[in-house]
Amino acid sequence: MRVRDALGALFSDEDFAVGEFEEMYADLGRPGLSSALLVMVTVLQFLHNLSDRDAAVAVADRISWKYALGLELEYTGFDASVLCEFRARLVEGDRADALLSLMLERLKAAGLVRAGGRQRTDSTHVLACVRRLNRIECLGEALRAALEEIARTSPGLVVPLLGPGWDERYGRKVETSRLLRRKNASATRLAEQIGADGQSLIAAIDADATAAWMNGLPQVRIVRELWDQHFERTATGTPRYRDTKELPPSAERVRSPHDPDARYSTKGTPGADAVEWTGSKAHLTESCDEDLPNLVTDVHTTCATEPDVAATTPVQDKLIDRDLKPGEHLLDSGYPSGANIGASLERGITLIAPVTVQTGRGARGGTFTPKDFHVDWQAGVTRCPAGATSISMRPNKNGLIRVAFSRANCRPCPIRAQCTTSAPHLGRVLEIHPEPIHTARTRMQAGQDTPQWREAYQARAGIEGTVSQAVRGPVPRRSRYQGLAKTHLQNVLIGMAINIRRLGTHFDTTTSPSRRRPTRVHALCTQHGIATAA
């Protein structure tokens, strides 16, 4: 309500008649409901973590919602299925990102976000809306889903395949089955039986020319992909169940037949602190200028196995397209790399992030790092900490510069133990980035040890609070929908809901900003004038 009083309507129906939204609705037929209304209803739905039915009831019953949406008190609302259909239209193309861009255009015009300031980015894991299955359960459920879909339209293809045990294995969902819980049950034998059954189905489809259309069914495509990943054809024609070491990387493996985009990943050191999940990853970016509210400026969704470093440049590209290019971009150590440091330099963006120290071949922690070597780019030589110069500097195929030192200089060097652990008859070899990136990387590494850099980097911690606020509210760590596109739409709507919440706090003049409650010991120290130690 406060946001509407201060800014008016954030969206209009004219916004959804151009650009990515131009073909959302057909020109013929009965006119649909206002797109601007449905967008705000969907954002409020995610703000309060409501179902479609509860959101539709809130539009009809709550006076506060009607005021915020600009509706008459007599408005009776609409059917809850409208919200599901509207989200299905928003999923197509880049409409989710365009929706956030519309909101940011309105906020930019109001002076609440601007380019050239500070922005920060961090990621969080998102659980897929599927049950976690092991390998055999995934194979059995994939085959059951394919058989169920084929039996719905062409039961004649399935009937010849039916045999003893098919009803027990595929007659119900795998989570209700007890095949793996029975005494003397062999997991390998069951997997091979499922593999043989799936191979029979694939062979039946391939042998019938009139059944070729079934290869277009999503369930059949997933069965074929899973069988290629988990089974190997033998000379006898029976599939062999692959060992775990023979499987493709986690980034390529299907983890659930109901969400082929979900991937298994881990985060953190193995042990109690490690996070394991099957799903995707969401990257939130927000502004953090001191004189403006902290608002979400971008939401980027990737596969769970994609590292954070791959998201740095795409996030910056979207911010530039929205005319919100940051002057300083605060990140954690997972985001910077030589490639995106160079890309940020070209864009005029300063990365403030810890840079991992790379020591090179034969070195270890505590030895000299590339920043300890002086590079004379004009002369094409590098000088080591002992004063010896390199014998060659030439580009590698990977785009890095390979710097080699003479064995005659390295072998008798008195500080060799501080430089490399390679064999005594070998010289030190470095791999450094080209001049602009190496210079920027060295400057970033040197700046990490200064109090000024640590003070500036403290602002990055605020994005952790944004993730925490989202988890305690719209719950972004558990997807409502299946598929990466629908999960991305959910993440974007959550980001817009966070903006509404923070704008409401920004425009609230009746309460003072909340402060952290001091502990009793801190209050006593302050009361008696005891200074805090530096």
| Pair (156, 216) in one structural domain | yes
CATH of the domain at 334: 3.30.420
Residue 366 confidence class, pLDDT cut points 50, 70, 90: low
Amino acid found at 131: R
- The residue among 128, 158, 159, 150 whose CA lies nearest residue 257 is 128
Residue 361 belongs to a domain: no
Q: Average model confidence (pLDDT) for the chain?
A: 88
340 has pLDDT over 80:
yes
Residue 252 belongs to a domain: no
Look at the chain and report how many structural domains it folds into: 4
391 has pLDDT over 50:
yes
**445 vs 316, more confident:** 316
Confidence at residue 182, expressed as pLDDT on a 0 to 100 scale:
52
| Pair (377, 483) in one structural domain | no
533 has pLDDT over 60:
no
In three-state form (DSSP H/G/I as H, E/B as E, the rest C), the secondary structure along 74-131 is CCCCCCCHHHHHHHHHHHCCCHHHHHHHHHHHHHHHCCCCCCCCEEEEEEEEEECCCC
Which ranges constitute the DSSP H helices of 352-475?
407-410, 435-447, 451-457, 462-472
| Pair (242, 140) in one structural domain | yes
380 has pLDDT over 60:
yes
Cα 270 → chain centroid: 21
Run of H or E residues at 278 = strand 275-287
314 has pLDDT over 50:
yes
| Pair (80, 163) in one structural domain | no
| Pair (295, 436) in one structural domain | no
Q: How far apart are CA 262 and CA 283, in angstroms?
A: 16
Q: How far apart are CA 206 and CA 212, in angstroms?
A: 7
Residue 453 belongs to a domain: yes
Residue 271 belongs to a domain: no
For 260-279, the pLDDT digits (tens) are 999 999 887 776 678 889 99
177 has pLDDT over 80:
no
| Pair (439, 534) in one structural domain | no
For 122-161, the pLDDT digits (tens) are 999 999 999 888 899 999 999 999 999 999 888 888 888 8
Residue 469 confidence class, pLDDT cut points 50, 70, 90: confident
| pTM of the entire predicted model | 0.87
Confidence at residue 142, expressed as pLDDT on a 0 to 100 scale:
94
**Percent with pLDDT over 90 in the chain:** 52
Average pLDDT over residues 200-218: 90
Q: Which residues contact 171 (CB under 8 A, 6 or more apart)?
A: none
Residue 517 belongs to a domain: yes
| Pair (322, 375) in one structural domain | no
| Pair (436, 459) in one structural domain | no
Confidence at residue 183, expressed as pLDDT on a 0 to 100 scale:
45
**160 vs 296, more confident:** 296
| Pair (454, 425) in one structural domain | no
Residue 242 belongs to a domain: yes
Residue 362 belongs to a domain: no
Confidence at residue 429, expressed as pLDDT on a 0 to 100 scale:
86
Confidence at residue 357, expressed as pLDDT on a 0 to 100 scale:
65
Average pLDDT over residues 495-505: 94
- Please identify, among 446, 461, 477, the residue that sits at the C-terminal boundary of a domain: 446
Confidence at residue 165, expressed as pLDDT on a 0 to 100 scale:
84
DSSP state of 202: H
| Pair (65, 30) in one structural domain | yes
* Domain that residue 400 falls in: 370-446
| Pair (348, 483) in one structural domain | yes
**24 vs 63, more confident:** 63
DSSP state of 402: E
Greatest mean pLDDT among 268-277, 364-373, 425-434: 425-434
Residue 233 confidence class, pLDDT cut points 50, 70, 90: confident
User: How, if at all, do strands 263-267 and 275-287 pair?
Assistant: antiparallel
| Pair (407, 477) in one structural domain | no
Residue 274 belongs to a domain: no
